[in-house]
Structure 1
Amino acid sequence: MSTIQVQIAENLKNIRKLRGYSYDQLAQLTGVSKGMLSQIEKGESSPTVNTLWKIANGLQVSFSSLVEEKEPTVSVVRLSEKTAVTENEELLQVYPYFPFDSSKNFEVYYMEILPECVHTSDRHHGMVEEYVLVCDGEMTVGIQDVEYKLKKGDSMRFEANHTHTYSNHTGEKASCYLLLHYA
């Protein structure tokens, strides 16, 4: 069995199981027979490009999601190797750790807020939940005229469909991880 055949088999099986589809349901969605789908998943058949397009269109996924190699199971992100996106005369530094991935619907950032920084974040469109996990220092998160003071070890979750602020009114740097989940 070729490497690409193995990859297609694994990817199709993972997508089908993740969505909870039977072979019958998948056959209805894609127009590919359940026998052929089963053979592809078992690596017993090497599908044509046309068949792969039918499957991709039926599942509403990209063609490459069926043929691309699986992400490594371990990813190490080193702060020292990241470049910050800065704002407020570099009083706010945001490091993108794990960019948005449509199959996971979230992204992760590390954020440092230097003393006297006040950062206003516009509301996010759609259903977006923001999770804040404070690593060091103290910060204040403001949402709709209510301020929440957070210290090292504290965390919070909120719907980010309103303007919100991150501020540091102390004399020491504060840092946190942000996880944005897109429903």
Structure 2
Amino acid sequence: MNSIQTQIAENLKNIRKLRGYSYDQLAQLTGVSKGMLSQIEKGESSPTVNTLWKIANGLQVSFSSLVEEKEPTVTVVRLHEKTAVTENDEQLQVYPYFPFDSSKKFEVYFLELMPGCVHESERHHGSVEEYILVCDGEATISIQDVKYVLKKGDSMRFQASQSHTYANLTDQKTSFYLLMYYS
């Protein structure tokens, strides 16, 4: 984790460069001297709260956008490090991989269905699409009483506002990724 001073330096530099501002332009907008702005960006000065508010107001950004740590550019999710949410006496195991993020409008899960598992999913309100990508085994997806059999490598998408069921009607474990997109 970066120190707050380093984080402020990186965030200020990124915002300034993204907008194409020189130090002179930034100083004019914020009321903070270009020397101080340069020192902050280089991590040589730790700005006061008052100085940060001047910068935030001048740039018309939130205070937190200057101090918050940015999301990593790479995130690795390992199944063995996740805890499953289970149902039907552990016949259904749901691993949350990427939780819902309002800026991205989707979430990703990894599901395992044990042999004989049938799970009736609740209808989702609003405009939600589900995308299923089968990794192993065979999944039978029923949407309003129409059955679709998906095997390893198959995928599908559908409006999740309809009644739908996931089933493994085989004698081997089935696994698939489920992406839910909120348009």
> With structure 1 as the length reference, what TM-score do the two structures score?
0.73
Larger Rg: 2
Q: How does 1:104-123 map to 2 (within 5 A)?
A: 104-123=104-123
The CA distance in 2 between the partners of 1:131 and 1:147, in whole Å, is 16
Q: Which residue of structure 2 lines up, in the alignment, with residue 93 of structure 1?
A: 93
Could you tell me how far 1:12 is from its partner in structure 2? 8.1
| Map of 2:61 onto structure 1 | 55
Tell me if structure 2 keeps the 8 A contact 1:85–1:93: yes
Residue type at the aligned position of 2:123? R
Aligned length, in residue pairs: 156
Quick check: 2:11–2:65 contact (8 Å CA) kept in 1? no
- Structure 1 range deviating more: 3-12 or 46-55: 46-55
Q: What is the CA–CA distance in structure 1 between the aligned matches of 2:179 and 2:16, rounded to whole Å? A: 28
Separation (CA, whole Å) in 2 of partners of 1:65 and 1:167: 45
1:94-128 Cα deviation digits (max 9, x unpaired): 00111111221111110000111110111112211
After TM superposition, the score normalised by the length of structure 2 is 0.73
Q: What's the CA shift for 1:66?
A: 5.0
Gaps spanning 5+ residues in structure 1: where? 17-22, 24-32, 57-62
For structure 2, the 5+ residue unaligned runs are 41-46
Distance 1:85 1:98 in 2: 14
SS at match of 1:112: strand
Structure 1 residue 67 displacement after superposition: 3.1
Give 1:83 deviation, angstroms: 0.6
Which secondary structure state, in structure 2, belongs to the residue aligned with residue 7 of structure 1?
Answer: helix
Please report how far the alpha carbon of residue 48 of structure 1 lies from its aligned counterpart in structure 2 after TM superposition: 3.5
What is aligned with 2:70? 70
One-letter amino acid of the structure 1 residue matched with residue 100 of structure 2: F
Question: Per the alignment, do residues 167 and 12 of structure 1 end up closer, same or farther by CA in structure 2, a change over 3 Å counting?
Answer: farther
Is the 8 Å Cα contact of residues 93 and 111 (structure 1) preserved in structure 2?
yes
Q: Is residue 2:28 matched to residue 1:6?
A: no
Distance (whole Å) between structure 2 residues aligned to residue 13 and residue 93 of structure 1: 45
1:83 maps onto 2:76 in alignment? no
Instruction: Give CA deviations for 1:57-113 in whole Å, capped at 9, x if unaligned.
Output: xxxxxx535531221111111111111000011100000111111221111110000
Give identity over the alignment, percent.
Answer: 61
Q: Secondary structure at the match of 1:130?
A: strand
Q: CA deviation at 1:148?
A: 0.7
CA distance in 1: counterparts of 2:81 and 2:130, whole angstroms: 25
1:176 matched to 2:172: no
Confirm or deny: 8 A CA contact 2:11 2:66 kept in the other structure: yes
**Corresponding residue to 1:36 among 21, 29, 32:** 29
Which deviates the most, 171-180 or 157-166? 157-166
Q: SS at 1:48's partner residue?
A: helix
Could you tell me whether the CA contact under 8 Å between 1:130 and 1:181 is conserved in 2?
yes
